[in-house]
Amino acid sequence: MSGTFVGMPAFPVAAREAVHDATLRGNLRHATHTIRAKRARAVGELSDWARLREAGRRIKDHTLRHLDRYLVQLEESVTAAGGTVHWAADAAEANRIVTALVKATGESEVVKVKSMATQEIGLNEALEAEGVRAYETDLAELIVQLGKDRPSHILVPAIHRNRGEIRDVFVREMGAWGRPAPEGLTDAPAELAEAARLHLREKFLRAKVGVCGANFMVAETGTLVVVESEGNGRMCLTLPETLIAVAGIEKVVPSWRDLEVFLQTLPRSSTAERMNPYTSTWTGTADEDGPRAFHLVLLDNGRTDALADRVGRQALRCIRCSACLNVCPVYERAGGHAYGSVYPGPIGAVLSPQLRGTASEIDASLPYASSLCGACYEVCPVAIDIPEVLVHLRERVAQGGPAVREGNRVVLRPARGHAAERAAMRAAGWVFARPRALRAGQRLASRTRRLHPRTLPGPGRAWSGARDLPAVPVEPFRDWWQRTRGGKDGGR
Amino acid sequence: MSDRERVLGRVRRALADVTPDDRPYEAAVERDYLREHGERTAERTVELLAENLADYRAIVHRCGRAELPSLIGRLLAGREAGSVLVPPGLEPGWLAGTDAVRVPDRAGSTPHELDRVDSVVTGCAVAIAETGTIVLDGGPGQGRRRISLVPDHHICVVRVPGQVVSSVPRALERLDPARPSTWISGPSATSDIELDRVEGVHGPRTLEVILLG
């Protein structure tokens, strides 16, 4: 993945700062609670939700199981429909391809539809280095770009900003990028949307090159699908002469019919709407309607490493709806930036360490950025068992073991800093296998309970730094049970 | 080695533990979800479409063939529209009640020219009742994708009940993937400010749907 977030501190450090930011916590709490209730209503309208979810899971699993076949079929279909397909094993290659395609047009600016894949590879920075200016056109992306900020949510990258902050960014920055914000702009959302409309319109009308991602790619027909709300996507997809799409290889689905599942589950999961305002589908190039040249860049960038992991590969089912972020108690408090990746929240905690590996401090800490409450799994429209993958990745971080990095089999060494945890687990294993020792230990703990410290000493301090130590009862449960028969006779 | 071979090679090695499923695709993935939600009469389906369109702030009108030209004329006059984009194949009679300047949808028009047009009138390919969606696929009377995007006012005529289906699965059955399609559910909107829906960003800020029965 890109270097955008290199040097991020580990999750606990970044999160500790974030939870002390009262504005951030207020903004996140307001936004996530608003959307939670709406999503529940939108999902509740469909009596067959569980079956749609299961069908979505099956379609994605089947596709991943035969991914090579469907990618080749997609390439054939797109080519037959007049498009050109490129393959990129990593971010650098994808950036090189897109930059060369833009330069070949002779243009020095592009308009962009919101796309996670291009954020992941750091395309804007790569283009900038080659003298090409990339304009983000999604409202939230615009807020992030103008504010020289980082995205903090998959669907709404500026979720950490409230309306007042957005107004300030517009007033301060729009002039440097093009049309300035209207005089007397207030923080009314309708006025802010109007300011974005005016600011971006001139860019849409003169754009010769558009860059987009894809929500879905249909192998049998070569059709790409972009789901959006504002119409900025439609502008970028239809007005320029050249269109370049960058999409992860896991975005392919076998058939046109598969869209009947995802076009029901995605909008209701993400913006909690029956249907998002605009969805565009296109197949290659069309006669005199839209771009005359269409390029599709198929991106690996760590996805095949995730695919090689029997437990972790389910994360590739993700359709980027962000429902898991909106329900997550950890995300709600820590915010998206603490995850140090363009993919924050629960899905980011399982995706980033698989795409980037667990070598860096931030990636090794992400599997621990969860209380394992399971709310993310409940709402996931493709049933990714995020807690299962988190636990699996924790094991990989703490114990090491075989994995695949950049296509090569490697054996990971246990991460440093988990030695005390491993020793504690070994000791626990020994004690639990010996009932006498366990009982003696429990009784000793109960008798000395008044003397227990509130935090652990030595290497245990890191563990108790963010957790309360459990209170030890007056009497071990098994002693209580033996004495009272479960409270039936002689119970207190 | 090309990146193509590299990526495909990695995929194949990653799947070495997986037993291939050689059943045809239709048999490999079970689909026990509903084709549509609930049973409704054709008339009730049209009513549901109207309700859901209105719920997402589209303005809904109903009329018969005879009143259509005068209704379109009134809607354009109400917006003081001086010009209207006309897709190829639009029934000529539909615009008989307006003297707005007709701007034909041409391949050679520039985006700036389209931006100066006040309104656009189109038909559609299909409309989805459960979601309040109209789908345009560039067929007769619908034009290129950009004409229903750049003008700030879009009037879309839906023939009812013929063009109305209940659900997303039923709509996809009617569409040809080879044709570019645009699915429209209400006017342009955003949820980017505090995750609350606000209408009116880059697409037409006013969407009027005429249910022609």
pLDDT tens digits along A438-452:
889 889 888 888 888
Residue A448's Cβ-side half-sphere holds a number of Cα atoms within 13 Å equal to 9
Interchain pair B37, A223: CB under 8 A:
no
Segments making up each domain of chain B, as ranges: 40-212
Nearest-Cα distance to chain B for A430, in Å, is 34
Amino acid sitting at position A247: A
With cut-offs at 50, 70 and 90, classify the pLDDT of residue A3: very low
Which of helix, strand or coil describes residue A241? coil
Amino acid sitting at position B105: D
- Secondary-structure percent of chain A, ordered helix, strand, coil, rounded to 5: 55, 10, 35
Instruction: Name every chain B residue with its beta carbon within 8 A of the beta carbon of A54.
Output: 32
Interchain pair B149, A232: CB under 8 A:
no
Lookup result for tokens 């023939």: B159
Please tell me the distance from the alpha carbon of residue B133 to that of residue B48, in angstroms, as a whole number. Answer: 11
Amino acid sitting at position B160: V
pLDDT digit string, tens, across residues B144-174 = 999 999 999 999 999 999 999 999 999 999 9
Following DSSP, what letter does each residue of A93-145 receive, concatenated? HHHHHHHHHHHHHT-SEEEE---HHHHHTTHHHHHHHTT-EEEE-SHHHHHHH
Q: Decide if B179 contacts A223 (C-beta within 8 A).
A: no
Interchain pair A275, B4: CB under 8 A:
no
pLDDT digit string, tens, across residues A12-61 = 888 888 889 998 899 899 989 989 999 999 999 999 999 999 999 999 99
Please tell me the distance from the alpha carbon of residue B185 to that of residue B168, in angstroms, as a whole number. Answer: 12
Please tell me the distance from the alpha carbon of residue B57 to that of residue B63, in angstroms, as a whole number. Answer: 19
Nearest-Cα distance to chain B for A383, in Å, is 15
Cα radius of gyration rounded to whole Å, chain A: 25
- Hey, which residues does B103 pair with through a beta bridge? B85
Interchain pair B20, A66: CB under 8 A:
yes
DSSP one-letter code for A276? -
Cβ partners under 8 Å of residue B160, min gap 6: B46, B49, B211, B212, B213
* Of the partner residues B3, B182, B199, the one whose CB lies closest to the CB of residue A87: B3
Mean pLDDT by 10-residue block, N- to C-terminus, for chain B (213 residues)? 96 92 86 96 97 97 97 97 98 96 96 97 98 98 97 97 98 98 94 82 96 96
Nearest-Cα distance to chain A for B66, in Å, is 31
A2 pLDDT more than 50: no
Instruction: Name every chain A residue with its beta carbon within 8 A of the beta carbon of B6.
Output: 87, 89, 300, 407
In terms of pLDDT, which residue wins out, A425 or B101? B101
- Hey, which residues does A209 pair with through a beta bridge? A242
Cβ count within 10 A of residue B22 = 7
Which of helix, strand or coil describes residue A246? strand
Please tell me the distance from the alpha carbon of residue A314 to that of residue B112, in angstroms, as a whole number. Answer: 46
With cut-offs at 50, 70 and 90, classify the pLDDT of residue A425: confident
A107 pLDDT more than 70: yes
Among B residues 55-94, those touching chain A with beta carbons less than 8 Å apart: 56
| Residue burial A306-335, b: 16+ Cβ < 10 Å; e: rest | bbbbeebbbbbbbbbbbbbbbbbebbbebb
Please tell me the distance from the alpha carbon of residue A202 to that of residue A460, in angstroms, as a whole number. Answer: 59
Closest CA to A227 of A192, A273, A159, A194: A273
pLDDT digit string, tens, across residues A120-157 = 999 999 999 999 999 999 999 999 999 999 999 999 89
Among B residues 154-213, those touching chain A with beta carbons less than 8 Å apart: 168-169, 172, 177-204
Please tell me the distance from the alpha carbon of residue A230 to that of residue B187, in angstroms, as a whole number. Answer: 9
A244 pLDDT more than 80: yes
Q: Say which CATH superfamily domain B40-212 falls into.
A: NagB/RpiA/CoA transferase-like (3.40.50.10420)
Average pLDDT over residues A260-265: 98
Closest CA to A139 of B9, B203, B54: B203
Q: Does the CB of A172 have a partner CB in chain B at under 8 Å?
A: no
Q: Does the CB of B31 have a partner CB in chain A at under 8 Å?
A: yes
Please tell me the distance from the alpha carbon of residue A43 to that of residue A50, in angstroms, as a whole number. Answer: 10
Query: What pLDDT is stored for residue A5 in this prediction?
Result: 59
Distances (CA, A) of A348 to A7, A153, A327, A390: 17, 10, 14, 10
Please tell me the distance from the alpha carbon of residue A231 to that of residue B204, in angstroms, as a whole number. Answer: 8
**Which residue is closest to A279 within chain B, CA to CA?**
B183
Please tell me the distance from the alpha carbon of residue A154 to that of residue A318, in angstroms, as a whole number. Answer: 12
Q: Considering only A85-94, A218-227, A428-437, A483-492, which range has the smallest mean pLDDT?
A: A483-492
A488 pLDDT more than 90: no
Interchain pair B194, A163: CB under 8 A:
yes
Nearest-Cα distance to chain B for A342, in Å, is 17
Q: Does the CB of A51 have a partner CB in chain B at under 8 Å?
A: yes
Average pLDDT over residues A159-180: 95
Segments making up each domain of chain A, as ranges: 420-484
State the virtual CA torsion across B50, B55, B61, B65 in degrees, nearest 10: -30
Closest CA to A115 of A243, A202, A204, A201: A243
Following DSSP, what letter does each residue of A22-66 receive, concatenated? HHHHHHHHHHHHHHHHHHHHHHHT-TTHHHHHHHHHHHHHHHHHT
Interchain pair B195, A259: CB under 8 A:
no
Please tell me the distance from the alpha carbon of residue A388 to that of residue A317, in angstroms, as a whole number. Answer: 14
Please tell me the distance from the alpha carbon of residue A99 to that of residue B28, in angstroms, as a whole number. Answer: 40
Average pLDDT over residues A225-234: 97
Please tell me the distance from the alpha carbon of residue A341 to that of residue A349, in angstroms, as a whole number. Answer: 9
Query: What pLDDT is stored for residue A491 in this prediction?
Result: 45
Interchain pair B202, A159: CB under 8 A:
no
Interchain pair B188, A278: CB under 8 A:
yes
Pairs across A and B, CB distance < 8 A? 263
Among A residues 177-236, those touching chain B with beta carbons less than 8 Å apart: 189-190, 192-194, 196-197, 200-201, 204-206, 218, 221, 223, 229-232, 234-235
Query: What pLDDT is stored for residue A52 in this prediction?
Result: 98
Query: What pLDDT is stored for residue A352 in this prediction?
Result: 97
Average pLDDT over residues A173-191: 95
Nearest-Cα distance to chain A for B43, in Å, is 21
A183 pLDDT more than 80: yes
What angle is formed at CA A295 by the lines to CA A290 and CA A296, rounded to 5 degrees? 120
Nearest-Cα distance to chain A for B70, in Å, is 28
Nearest-Cα distance to chain A for B54, in Å, is 13
Cβ partners under 8 Å of residue A444, min gap 6: none
Closest CA to A294 of A340, A248, A349, A236: A236
**Which residue is closest to A162 within chain B, CA to CA?**
B194
ipTM greater than 0.90: yes
